């Protein structure tokens, strides 16, 4: 096909389109249109995609494509069937070639080309649903272009490149219930096909798959299943796509097919972040996630923290028995917890986990004591959040206040004093007055992994008294709260969760200092004083 620039190519494609639609005798012009889809010029490809969308969209609406199991093209052309049948079979093969090329264009470097190809494919999905290319098995049978749609989802989940931008465009189609339902089923099949067919799956594929899966959100009620992309004259209760229960099953199967594989740590974190809000509430059987969550906890670090959130939901809302839950949470408390990226999330969850007044006193005392011990080496921005957190635990559980009011215990306050350093070989203290305590006298065992065996209830919160001598005045003030009777209402730690050292520094700079104290009745003027002053008479700055 001769073309003179992009405008000439567009006009040439328009003429070919009109010719094919006007007469079956011009059907061979379809080859010229499909040839432009193979062009290397971006604008020509876009024009060809639009032309193919109009051409085959019209043929679908006019029902000029073969309906039923597509036979081989050579067999039909060599046979004695009628001209109409041969034409429809031949054009159906051209339509199939067009769809295959459009799926390939989903990997084109140009986003405009990918976006147009996706739009054309989904238009074909809609038209095929309205004008099916397969015969119904019985009257009222639900028909949907499964194969075409699977190829679209397969192109979106390609392991060859990042599809996040294209998936964001596809997200708007997920608002339709039929598209969402078939996306879940197609995604499960694609993950199974790609992950089980390769010895090593690229991280790009897992990222693409997570982006698509996380975009699926189910309605809360059965009445929410009413929006369909493929228009139907009427909906039948016999169709699975019309029932929320079936959507939940497809949703569960989709996530199980994804989570049963060994995911990269970066993807695992993303899954755990949305687990409690976007995944567990929509599963038909939320308890099946216990294996994934326990495996995630064994990884350690921030992933363990995020996994415990999902475990807590299963315990509280789905009656899951998990006796080691608080023991594992206790094990996450180490000095690094004040410096990790998920510090705010950790303490928000820990506050939630320890909110029940039915928790045994020994357990709360162990958490309180562990936090107090870690607070000795924590930065000020963490202390301003941890100290109110500890006080809130004492407010919720009065039985733990013995940690504060224990004047004659093994960790008695009498052992805690200000005096000369007892270490004769200490080269740092000498005459300095230091705070000292014989730590061996504290019955609390910080190395014990089981909070029930830590002997925290036999100890005392001497660490808070030590922090009353902290160099930062706000920390000292927060630690001094235990010197008075604790107020009944708890102190909200939400504003303190995201507190940073920079914010503390800015707050200190913004504080107004005391007003200037007058030192003379007559204020001084100039660097050397007034003119009649003795200094000004004998000295000059010039």
Q: How far apart, in whole angstroms, are the C-alpha atoms of residue 129 and residue 356?
A: 53
Tokens encoding 479:
């630690």
- The residues, ordered by sequence, that sit 6+ positions from 266 with a Cβ below 8 Å of its Cβ are 203, 207
Higher pLDDT residue, 304 or 214? 214
pLDDT at residue 140, rounded to an integer: 65
pTM (2 d.p.): 0.77
The fraction of the chain above a pLDDT of 70, given in percent, is 89
pLDDT at residue 6, rounded to an integer: 59
pLDDT at residue 375, rounded to an integer: 93
pLDDT above 80 for 121: yes
pLDDT at residue 379, rounded to an integer: 92
pLDDT above 70 for 426: no
Higher pLDDT residue, 429 or 227? 227
Res. 271 pLDDT band, cuts 50 70 90: very high
Mean pLDDT of 153-170: 92
Question: pLDDT tens across 394-423, in order?
Answer: 999 988 988 887 665 444 433 444 333 444
pLDDT at residue 373, rounded to an integer: 93
Q: Per-residue b/e over 263-288, b at no fewer than 16 CB within 10 Å?
A: beeebbbbbbeebbebbbebbeebee
Q: How far is CA 96 from the centre of its chain?
A: 38
Q: How far apart, in whole angstroms, are the C-alpha atoms of residue 290 and residue 272?
A: 12
Mean pLDDT of 520-529: 68
Tokens encoding 513:
């200092």
Question: pLDDT tens across 134-149, in order?
Answer: 887 766 678 889 999 9
Res. 312 pLDDT band, cuts 50 70 90: confident
């Amino acid at each position: 096909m001769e073309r003179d620039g992009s405008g000439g190519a567009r006009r040439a494609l328009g003429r070919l389109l009109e010719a094919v639609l006007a007469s079956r005798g011009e059907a061979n012009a379809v080859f010229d249109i499909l040839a432009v889809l193979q062009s290397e010029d971006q604008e020509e490809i876009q024009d060809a995609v639009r032309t193919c969308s109009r051409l085959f969209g019209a043929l679908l609406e006019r029902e000029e494509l073969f309906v039923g199991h597509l036979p081989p093209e050579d067999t039909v052309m060599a046979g004695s069937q009628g001209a109409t049948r041969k034409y429809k079979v031949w054009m159906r093969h051209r339509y199939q070639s067009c769809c295959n090329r459009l799926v390939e264009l989903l990997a084109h470097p140009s986003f405009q080309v990918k976006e147009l190809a996706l739009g054309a494919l989904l238009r074909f999905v809609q038209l095929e649903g309205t004008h099916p290319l397969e015969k119904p098995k019985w009257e009222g049978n639900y028909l949907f272009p499964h194969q075409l749609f699977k190829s679209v989802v397969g192109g979106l989940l390609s392991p060859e490149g990042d599809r996040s931008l294209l998936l964001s465009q596809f997200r708007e189609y997920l608002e339709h219930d039929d598209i969402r339902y078939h996306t879940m089923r197609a995604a499960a099949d694609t993950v199974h096909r790609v992950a089980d067919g390769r010895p090593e799956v690229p991280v790009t594929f897992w990222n693409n798959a997570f982006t698509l899966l996380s975009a699926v959100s189910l309605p809360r009620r059965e009445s929410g299943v009413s929006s369909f992309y493929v228009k139907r004259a009427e909906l039948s209760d016999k169709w699975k796509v019309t029932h929320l229960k079936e959507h939940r099953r497809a949703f569960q199967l989709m996530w199980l097919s994804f989570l049963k594989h060994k995911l990269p740590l970066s993807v695992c974190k993303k899954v755990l972040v949305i687990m409690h809000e976007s995944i567990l509430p929509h599963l038909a059987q939320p308890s099946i996630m216990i294996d994934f969550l326990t495996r995630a906890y064994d990884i350690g670090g921030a992933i363990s923290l995020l996994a415990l959130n999902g475990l807590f939901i299963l315990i509280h809302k789905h009656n899951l028995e998990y006796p080691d839950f608080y023991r594992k949470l206790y094990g996450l408390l180490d000095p690094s917890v004040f410096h990790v990226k998920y510090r705010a999330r950790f303490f928000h969850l820990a506050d939630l986990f320890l909110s029940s007044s039915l928790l045994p006193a020994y357990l709360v005392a162990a958490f309180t004591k562990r936090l107090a011990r870690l607070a000795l080496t924590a930065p000020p921005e963490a202390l301003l959040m941890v100290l109110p957190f500890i006080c809130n635990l004492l407010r919720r559980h009065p039985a733990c206040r013995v940690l504060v009011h224990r004047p004659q215990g093994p960790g008695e306050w009498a052992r805690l004093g200000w005096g000369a350093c007892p270490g004769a070989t200490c080269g740092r203290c000498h005459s300095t007055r230091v705070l000292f305590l014989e730590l061996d006298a504290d019955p609390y065992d910080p190395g014990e992994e089981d909070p029930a065996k830590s002997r925290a209830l036999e100890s005392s919160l001497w660490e808070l008294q030590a922090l009353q001598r902290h160099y930062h005045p706000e920390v000292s003030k927060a630690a001094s709260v235990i010197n008075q009777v604790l107020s009944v209402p708890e102190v909200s730690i939400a504003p303190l969760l995201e507190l940073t050292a920079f914010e503390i520094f800015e707050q200190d700079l913004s504080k107004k200092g005391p007003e200037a104290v007058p030192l003379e009745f007559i204020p001084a003027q100039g660097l050397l004083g007034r003119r009649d002053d003795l200094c000004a008479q004998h000295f000059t700055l010039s």
